[in-house]
A and B are shown apart, each in its own frame.
Chain A
Amino acid sequence: YGLKALLPLIRREDQSTEYDPSMTLGIDLTSVLHSLGIQGNQQGRQRVLDTFQSPWVETSRSEVEPRFFVPESFTNIPNVLQSGAQDPVFNSVQQDHAKISLFQDETLFYLFYKHPGSVVQELTYLELRKRNWRYHKTLKVWLTKDPMMEPAVAPGGASERGSYVFFDPQRWEKCQRDFVLFYNAIM
Chain B
Amino acid sequence: TNQEKMFLVFTEWVKLLQRVPENDIKVTVFIRQMMDKGVINSTDNMIQFTKAAIELSVGSFKESDPTSEVFIATDAFSKLIVKLLVLQDFTALSRSEYLRLMISVITMVFSEDQGMADNSFNERPYFRLISSLLCQWEDVSGHNFIKIQDQQFRNELIEFTPEFYNIIASFLHAFQPIAYPGFSFAWITLISHRMFLPKMLSLPGKVGWSKLILLFTDLLKFMAQYTKKNDVPDAVSVVYKGALRVFLAVANDAPEFLVENHYELLNNLPHVYMQLRNVILSAIPKRMVLPNPYDPQLSIGDVESCQHVPNVFYDPVQDLKNLKKPVDNYLRIPSASLLRVISTGIFKADQQKDSGIGYDSVSVDTKLINAIVLHVGIEAALEKDKTTATAIFNTKSSYYALLASMLSEGTTEVRFHVVQAIVNQLRYPNAHTLWFNYVLKNLFLSEEWGPSFAEIQEIIIRTLLERVVTNKPHCWGIIVTFTELLKSSECSIMTLPFVKDVPEVEHIIKHL
- Name the CB-closest residue of A to B414: A1
- Name the CB-closest residue of B to A22: B237
- Give the contact-size bracket for chain A: 35 or more
Q: Could you say which of A61-69, A78-86, A136-144 contacts chain B?
A: A61-69
Proximity bits, A54-96, B CB within 8 Å = 1, else 0: 1111010000111101000000000000000000000000000
Q: Does B192 contact A (CB under 8 A)?
A: yes
Proximity bits, B434-469, A CB within 8 Å = 1, else 0: 000000000000000000000100110110011001
- Contacts A1-B359, A26-B470, A32-B244 given; indicate if A52 touches B504 (C-beta within 8 A): no
Chain B residues with CB below 8 A from A24, complex form: 272-275, 357, 470
Other-chain residue from B249, B274, B458, B462 in contact with A36 (beta carbon distance below 8 A): B249
Which residues of A (91-123) have their CB < 8 Å from a CB of B?
none
Q: Does A132 contact B (CB under 8 A)?
A: no
Q: Could you say which of B51-59, B193-201, B295-303, B338-346 contacts chain A?
A: B193-201
Q: Are A25 and B469 in contact (CB under 8 A)?
A: yes
Which residues of B (454-512) have their CB < 8 Å from a CB of A?
455, 458-459, 461-462, 465-466, 469-473, 498-499, 501-502, 504-505, 508
Q: Does A173 contact B (CB under 8 A)?
A: no
**What separation, in Å, do the CA atoms of A60 and B21 have in the docked complex?**
29
Chain A residues with CB below 8 A from B3, complex form: none
- Name the CB-closest residue of B to A2: B458
Chain B residues with CB below 8 A from A7, complex form: 502, 504-505
Other-chain residue from B142, B194, B498 in contact with A49 (beta carbon distance below 8 A): B194
Nearest CB in chain B: distance from A55 CB, A: 3
Q: Are B138 and A67 in contact (CB under 8 A)?
A: yes
Which residues of B (224-260) have their CB < 8 Å from a CB of A?
227, 229-230, 232, 237-238, 240-246, 248-250, 252-254
Q: Does A148 contact B (CB under 8 A)?
A: no
Q: Are A27 and B252 in contact (CB under 8 A)?
A: no
**What separation, in Å, do the CA atoms of A51 and B242 have in the docked complex?**
16
- Contacts A19-B272, A25-B274, A49-B253 given; indicate if A55 touches B248 (C-beta within 8 A): no
Q: How many residues of B contact A (CB 8 A)?
A: 66
Chain B residues with CB below 8 A from A131, complex form: none
Nearest CB in chain A: distance from B387 CB, A: 36
Q: Does B97 contact A (CB under 8 A)?
A: no
Nearest CB in chain A: distance from B471 CB, A: 4
**What separation, in Å, do the CA atoms of A67 and B194 have in the docked complex?**
8
Other-chain residue from B135, B462, B473 in contact with A5 (beta carbon distance below 8 A): B462
Proximity bits, B128-151, A CB within 8 Å = 1, else 0: 000000010010001100000000
- Contacts A48-B249, A56-B238 given; indicate if A64 touches B194 (C-beta within 8 A): yes
**What separation, in Å, do the CA atoms of A93 and B501 have in the docked complex?**
82
Q: Does B403 contact A (CB under 8 A)?
A: no
Q: Are B194 and A23 in contact (CB under 8 A)?
A: no
- Name the CB-closest residue of A to B286: A45
**What separation, in Å, do the CA atoms of A25 and B232 have in the docked complex?**
15
Q: Are A5 and B358 in contact (CB under 8 A)?
A: yes
Interface of chain A, main secondary structure: loop
Other-chain residue from A1, A11, A53 in contact with B504 (beta carbon distance below 8 A): A11
Q: Are B242 and A19 in contact (CB under 8 A)?
A: no
Q: Does B111 contact A (CB under 8 A)?
A: no
Q: Are B502 and A4 in contact (CB under 8 A)?
A: yes
Q: Are B412 and A1 in contact (CB under 8 A)?
A: yes
- Name the CB-closest residue of A to B188: A55
Nearest CB in chain B: distance from A6 CB, A: 6
Chain B residues with CB below 8 A from A2, complex form: 358, 455, 458-459, 462, 498
Proximity bits, A138-168, B CB within 8 Å = 1, else 0: 0000000000000000000000000000000
Q: Are B197 and A19 in contact (CB under 8 A)?
A: no
Chain B residues with CB below 8 A from A49, complex form: 192, 194, 197-198, 201, 249-250, 252-254
- Name the CB-closest residue of B to A48: B249
Q: Does B189 contact A (CB under 8 A)?
A: yes
Q: Are B194 and A3 in contact (CB under 8 A)?
A: no
Q: Does B427 contact A (CB under 8 A)?
A: no
**What separation, in Å, do the CA atoms of A99 and B121 have in the docked complex?**
47
Other-chain residue from A9, A36, A66, A69 in contact with B248 (beta carbon distance below 8 A): A36
Q: Does B156 contact A (CB under 8 A)?
A: no
Q: Are A69 and B142 in contact (CB under 8 A)?
A: yes
Q: Does B416 contact A (CB under 8 A)?
A: yes
Q: Are A23 and B193 in contact (CB under 8 A)?
A: no
Which residues of A (3-37) have their CB < 8 Å from a CB of B?
3-7, 9-11, 16-20, 22-29, 32-33, 35-36
Q: Does A130 contact B (CB under 8 A)?
A: no
**What separation, in Å, do the CA atoms of A50 and B358 have in the docked complex?**
40
Other-chain residue from B193, B229, B252 in contact with A45 (beta carbon distance below 8 A): B252
**What separation, in Å, do the CA atoms of A51 and B241 have in the docked complex?**
19
- Name the CB-closest residue of B to A47: B253
- Contacts A10-B504, A24-B470 given; indicate if A56 touches B241 (C-beta within 8 A): yes
Q: Does A38 contact B (CB under 8 A)?
A: yes
* 21 A–B pairs (Cβ distance < 8 Å), ordered by A: A1-B459, A1-B462, A2-B358, A2-B458, A2-B462, A3-B461, A6-B466, A7-B502, A19-B272, A20-B229, A23-B273, A26-B278, A29-B471, A35-B245, A51-B194, A52-B193, A52-B194, A54-B189, A55-B242, A59-B189, A64-B194
Nearest 6 pairs of A and B residues by beta carbon: A5-B358, A26-B275, A55-B242, A1-B416, A26-B471, A49-B198
